[in-house]
Amino acid sequence: MIGFSMVLILLQSLFFTRASLGRVHWQRPDEGWVCRNTDGAVFSSTGIRFVGGVFHANDGNWILGFNKSIGVTQPLQSELWAIFTGLHIARDNGFDRLLIQSDNLEAIKRLNASTVESDVNDIVRAIDRLKNAGCATMFQWIPYKENKLADAIAKLDTSYDLSLLVDPHTLLLPLLISDSSSSM
């Protein structure tokens, strides 16, 4: 069953606009939920995009991180690939309740739309099918400044294969501590 605060998060994602922003912090999910932040990044010298993300426990602690190259694509596509890749990782790791946060408002709007199953974008429909076949999943938009850890992970490695980070890289620790302390 979805808790009251998770319903509020879903409603916030559906109706949030950039004009109505106040100070937003990483929000801890309800007990038993895992929060995953995702982001896409581009290396301007090559045009190659990378995706990354972090899975947080509801207390803000690191569970797992990931990053991967996805080649040359549009920003919206890279954000959607980050979400899709993370859903596969969540399924493979047995996470059954997942709050996905992204700083791409268009991606979140499309994934929360009532017409998601008929979206013209193949990856949106693939995310919807994967979501419906696996864990309880909610999508939430957050501002870029509250998604810096996922952004740093996307930029951390230039490997073309999926890299799973069991422990956070030392360069990520200040951002992880900031997320954990803001969720208290």
Counted domains in the chain: 1
Answer whether residue 1 is part of any domain.
no
Mean pLDDT of 84-112: 92
CA–CA–CA angle 162, 93, 147 (5° rounding) = 60
pLDDT of residue 139: 93
**Alpha helices in the chain, H assignment, sequence order:** 4-15, 75-92, 105-112, 122-133, 148-156, 173-182
The pLDDT tens digits for 131-167 are: 888 788 999 998 888 888 888 888 876 567 888 888 8
Residue 111 sits in which domain range? 29-182
Lowest mean pLDDT among 53-67, 90-104, 133-147, 169-183: 169-183
pLDDT of residue 10: 37
Q: Residue 183, SS3? A: coil
Answer whether residue 175 is part of any domain.
yes
The pLDDT tens digits for 1-60 are: 444 443 333 334 333 333 334 445 566 788 889 998 988 888 888 888 889 899 989 888
Print burial letters for 128-147: b (CB count within 10 Å at least 16), e (below 16): bebbeebbebbbbbbeeebb
Measured in whole angstroms, how far is the alpha carbon of residue 122 from the centre of its chain?
19
Measured in whole angstroms, how far is the alpha carbon of residue 65 from the centre of its chain?
11
Answer whether residue 97 is part of any domain.
yes
167 dihedral zone (left: phi>0; alpha: psi -120 to 50; beta): beta
pLDDT of residue 177: 72
> How far apart (Å, rounded) are the C-alpha atoms in residues 182 and 160?
33
Q: 25 vs 28, 91, 182, CA distance in Å?
A: 9, 26, 6
Q: Are the C-beta atoms of residues 66 and 85 closer than 8 Å to each other?
A: yes
pTM: 0.79
pLDDT of residue 90: 93
- Structural Rg of the chain based on CA atoms: 15
Answer whether residue 4 is part of any domain.
no
User: Any idea what the CATH number is for the domain that residue 119 is in?
Assistant: 3.30.420.10
Answer whether residue 8 is part of any domain.
no
Answer whether residue 3 is part of any domain.
no
With residue 68 as reference, give the H or E element that holds it. Answer: strand 62-71
pLDDT of residue 84: 93
Answer whether residue 14 is part of any domain.
no
In sequence order, the 6+-apart residues with CB closer than 8 A to the CB of 88 are 130
